[in-house]
Amino acid sequence: MPEPLLSVRGLATHFVTRRGTLRAVDGVDLDLAPGEVLGLVGESGCGKTVLALSLMRLVEPPGRIVAGRIAFDGSDVMAMDDKALSRLRGRGMGMIFQQPRTSLDPLIRIGNQISEPLMQHAGMSRAAAAREAIALLEAVGIPAAQARAKSYPHELSGGQAQRVMIAIALSLKPRLLIADEPTTSLDVTVQAQILALLRERCQALGTALILVTHDIGVVAQLADGVAVMYAGRVVEQGSVAAIFARPAHPYTQGLLQSAPVLGARRDRLNAIEGNIPDLSQPIAGCAFAPRCEARAAIGQRCDTDPPVPLPAGQDHMARCWRLAAA
């Protein structure tokens, strides 16, 4: 296996509030190879967004990274000072969000929003940065880029705003792009365009991609590897082929079966009964046990011991005691 670009061990990000400590991310291990597309899947409240922000050390109080190591491109992210972090967020990692318009400055022309970091981080002159901004807008499929560079964010459609965000996030050719639900607020036809663009740009630049999403269809179409999160943990990780063909964790199995699939109609959907646990309360064993159909067969251990990562195949692990019994 090649040297990973990103290696995360035991990462925990907690939010301390008056109502208690919310364990949003609670012991995550994750590996990402250079150029790999990783789908980070889970439902709301599973901690996937907090994990994404933690990787760039962008968590704001009352949130705090309380434990763990993040190694990125040979550097220790947890040990970085402000200057090193600024460089990391420019040339190391880029990020795009679900609501592209809210991450763009409404008062600044989009061309200037792209050229600013080029001057700051890449030492380009104003004129060179302006030319590069237009080239970047063309690369993300904005028609009439030269004229469009003078537009303000409110003049863009949602799809165009996300294209601009991609142009900004990739302008310094980072080694990793983190995309947090980048198409969730877009129409399905525009989603298809943005996903194709992400794939094409990341491939062209050799940039690895962490695609945070709740949509398993998006993951199946785009990802090389998949990490499934539940209640603050990565409960299963493996290649996209393995995860879809042989999901090992009962939660992954439930997730894959609960969504209706176009062209594969069934009379009933296999819903996962119950709700996600309250992460402000301590969880003794497996966080999924109260909703798990396999729990009865596995036994008491699920209620008392948090499952450790167990091999489920080649480069495929799941945190489920069922794998220990087998």
**C-beta of residue 210 within 8 angstroms of C-beta of residue 8:** no
The burial class, CB within 10 Å (0-12 / 13-18 / 19+), for 109 is: middle
* Comparison of 3 and 278: residue with beta carbon closer to another protein: 278
Residue 263 Cβ, how far from another protein at the closest point, in Å? Answer: 6
Residues that bind another protein (CB under 8 A): 43-44, 157, 159-160, 187-193, 195-196, 214-221, 223, 240-241, 244, 254-256, 258-263, 265-266, 268-273, 275
Residue 219 Cβ, how far from another protein at the closest point, in Å? Answer: 8
In whole angstroms, what separates CA 133 from the centre of its chain? 26
Residue 121 Cβ, how far from another protein at the closest point, in Å? Answer: 31
**C-beta of residue 49 within 8 angstroms of C-beta of residue 212:** yes
Residue 88 Cβ, how far from another protein at the closest point, in Å? Answer: 31
Residue 12 identity: A
* Comparison of 174 and 232: residue with beta carbon closer to another protein: 232
Q: Please provide residue 90's backbone torsions phi and psi, each rounded to the nearest 5 degrees.
A: -95, -65
Q: How many CA atoms lie within 13 A of 243 on its CB side?
A: 29
**What contacts 24+ positions apart, CB below 8 Å, involve 193-202?**
193/141, 193/159, 194/159, 194/162, 194/163, 194/166, 195/221, 195/222, 197/140, 197/141, 197/163, 197/166, 198/166, 198/222, 199/37, 201/139, 201/140, 201/166, 201/170, 202/35, 202/37, 202/170, 202/177
* Comparison of 91 and 214: residue with beta carbon closer to another protein: 214
* Comparison of 245 and 325: residue with beta carbon closer to another protein: 245
* Comparison of 96 and 211: residue with beta carbon closer to another protein: 211
Residue 280 Cβ, how far from another protein at the closest point, in Å? Answer: 15
Residue 217 Cβ, how far from another protein at the closest point, in Å? Answer: 3
**C-beta of residue 202 within 8 angstroms of C-beta of residue 37:** yes
Q: Please provide residue 93's backbone torsions phi and psi, each rounded to the nearest 5 degrees.
A: -130, 140
